[in-house]
Amino acid sequence: MSFTEIGSEQTRPPVAYAEAASFVKFLIDTVGRARFLEAYQTLRNSSEKAGLERNIEKLEQICGKPLPALQRQWETAFARS
């Protein structure tokens, strides 16, 4: 859930943006536009552990599923496309 965790320093922007776009599409398709917009308006950019933990907790509340379950669903959907 943070930019610093995605890819090598050389590939972070290209990989991070494409990966984020894929996850956004997955969320909209899975939980709907309204819940995605709620998450988008609620989550805050943070590189601090406490901020990341709050974001995960809020995303899980909004989506109604734990983040690892959402990630597995996304990876499965991505592999099918």
Which one-letter amino acid corresponds to residue 45? N
Question: What is the pTM (predicted TM-score) of this model?
Answer: 0.76
How much is the pLDDT for 47?
83
Model pLDDT for residues 25-63, shown as the tens digit of each residue: 999 999 999 999 999 999 998 889 999 999 999 999 999
Domain ranges of the chain: 3-80
Long-range residue pairs from 18-21, CB within 8 A, at least 24 positions apart, any chain: none
